[in-house]
C-alpha cells in the first residue's frame, strides 16, 4: 500500500535511482500523475510537464474503453473489442475528435500559455499514479514517441502484470514499484486516493 501519491512518488523515485534511470524530462499524465511526477522530477533534477489523452468509451457504456486519443490526435484502438461490439466507424471517428479536443483543452489550461516542450532526441519519463487497462497510457506514450523522443520510459507505482506486458512493446523500458497479481483498480493500493482538482494539478507545474 502507498500512503498517498507523494509517498508513491518517493518510492517510485527510489526504484528509478536504484536502477540508475536517467531522463531529460518527466511528463506526468494529469491529473493523478502530477503529484507523483512532481516528486520524481524533483528527485531526478529535471523539468516536469504533462502529456494527456482521453478514453474512447463504448456506445452505451462510456466506462468501457474501446481506445484512447492523445491531445495531438495520436490514437490507440482496441480493434478486437470494437469488432466484437460491432461499433461503427462513424461513432469511433466522432469520439476521437471530441475526446482529442478535450485532451488538447486540458493541455492548454495546464500549460497556461507555455509552449510544448521540445522532446527531440531526449529521454522522456512518462509518469502516472498507476495503470489499469493502459488505454490512455498507450495513447500518451505513442504521442511522446511520435514527438521525436530518443527514449521513452514508462514509470508508475502500480499496475497489473498483463497490462505491463502489453505496454512493453510501446516503450523502451517500464519501471513499476508493485505488480500485484490481483488487480481491481489503482485506488485500492493507496490509503489516501482523493480526486486531484484542476487547480491543485496546475500548481504542481508551477
Cis-peptide into 158, omega within 30 deg: no
pLDDT reported for residue 75: 96
Q: Is residue 206 one of the residues assigned to a domain?
A: no
One domain, residues 71 and 173: no
* Number of domains composing the chain: 2
One domain, residues 88 and 187: no
Whether the Cβ atoms of residue 99 and residue 158 lie closer than 8 Å to each other: no
List CB contacts of 7: < 8 A, sequence separation 6 or more.
Answer: none
CB-based burial, 41-67: b 16+ in 10 Å, e otherwise = bebbebebbbbbbbbbebeeeeebbbb
The C-alpha angle with vertex 20 and arms to 15 and 23, in degrees rounded to 5, equals: 95
Q: Is residue 184 one of the residues assigned to a domain?
A: yes
One domain, residues 19 and 79: no
Range of the domain at 106: 54-110
Give the span between the Cα atoms of 196 and 206, in whole angstroms.
16
One domain, residues 197 and 123: yes
One domain, residues 67 and 165: no
CATH (domain of 73) = 3.30.1310.20
Q: Residue 201's CB: how many other CB atoms inside 10 A?
A: 21
Give the span between the Cα atoms of 206 and 112, in whole angstroms.
10
Whether the Cβ atoms of residue 137 and residue 93 lie closer than 8 Å to each other: no
pTM: 0.93
CATH (domain of 154) = 3.40.50.2020
pLDDT reported for residue 104: 94
pLDDT in tens, 19-51: 999 999 999 999 999 999 999 999 999 999 999
Give the span between the Cα atoms of 7 and 163, in whole angstroms.
23
Q: Enumerate residue ranges in the chain where pLDDT < 50.
A: none
Amino acid at each position: 500500500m502507498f500512503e498517498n501519491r507523494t509517498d508513491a512518488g518517493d518510492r517510485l523515485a527510489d526504484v528509478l535511482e536504484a536502477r540508475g534511470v536517467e531522463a531529460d524530462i518527466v511528463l506526468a499524465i494529469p491529473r493523478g500523475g502530477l503529484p507523483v511526477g512532481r516528486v520524481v522530477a524533483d528527485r531526478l533534477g529535471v523539468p516536469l510537464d504533462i502529456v494527456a489523452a482521453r478514453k474512447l468509451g463504448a456506445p452505451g457504456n462510456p466506462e468501457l474503453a474501446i481506445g484512447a486519443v492523445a491531445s495531438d490526435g495520436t490514437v490507440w484502438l482496441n480493434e478486437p473489442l470494437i469488432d466484437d461490439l460491432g461499433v461503427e466507424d462513424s461513432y469511433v471517428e466522432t469520439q476521437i475528435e471530441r475526446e482529442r479536443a478535450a485532451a488538447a483543452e486540458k493541455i492548454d489550461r495546464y500549460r497556461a500559455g507555455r509552449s510544448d516542450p521540445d522532446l527531440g532526441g531526449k529521454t522522456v519519463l512518462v509518469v502516472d499514479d498507476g495503470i489499469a487497462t493502459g488505454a490512455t497510457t498507450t495513447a500518451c506514450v505513442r504521442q511522446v514517441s511520435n514527438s521525436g523522443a530518443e527514449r521513452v520510459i514508462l514509470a508508475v507505482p502500480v499496475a497489473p502484470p498483463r497490462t505491463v506486458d502489453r505496454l512493453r512493446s510501446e516503450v523502451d523500458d517500464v519501471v513499476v514499484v508493485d505488480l500485484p497479481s490481483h488487480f481491481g483498480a489503482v485506488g485500492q493500493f493507496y490509503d489516501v486516493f482523493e480526486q486531484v482538482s484542476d487547480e491543485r494539478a496546475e500548481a504542481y507545474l508551477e
